[in-house]
Amino acid sequence: MAEKWDKQFMDFIRRTSEDIRRTGEDLKIEAERLLVEVRDPARQAKLKATLTDFRDKAAAVTKEAAERLEGAARHVEDFVSRGLDNEKPAANTAKAPSSAPAEASAKDTPAAKAPRKTGKTIGKKTAVKKAPAAKKASSAKKAAASKTAKTLGRKGA
């Protein structure tokens, strides 16, 4: 029984070694073919051109992304600074209520603010959308009231 097992085991090892030898030869042939392709000057030039093009495109996209990010940062800074500027008069109105209506009415007058144009034309005249001054004034009062009512932290402190 042991001889039969030994014979089967040896047959298996021979077949496996032949398979491994063939696989090794196939790998060697494929590796040599790839090395020839890599060493080919025409392929190297093509690969170099492709990589250069890719690098240039990546640099352009990176530059554009940086510019957009800077623009967005500027918009945020402007928005925050306008918010802080708008918050300062609201704080002053709480301290001195008599001067607030005069300032608000001077800002909301049509002479002080030019109407925004939408660019739509009706006939020969351009259509202009105007927001009523009363809505602007009431929304400003609501915003000022809500800012003063809000607290941070504990209510008792």
Percent of the chain with pLDDT over 70: 55
In this structure, the chain runs to a length of 157
Q: How high is the pLDDT of residue 44?
A: 87
Q: What's the average model confidence in pLDDT over 31-49? A: 89
pTM of the model: 0.33
Question: Is 94 a residue whose pLDDT tops 80?
Answer: no
Band (157; pLDDT cuts 50, 70, 90): very low
Q: What is the dihedral angle through the alpha carbons of 138, 143, 144, 146, rounded to the nearest 10 degrees?
A: 120
* Between 2 and 80, residue with greater pLDDT: 80
pLDDT-wise least confident of 13-17, 44-48, 53-57, 124-128: 124-128
Q: What are phi and psi of 119, to 5 degrees?
A: 90, -5
What are the structure tokens assigned to 32, written together? Answer: 């040599």
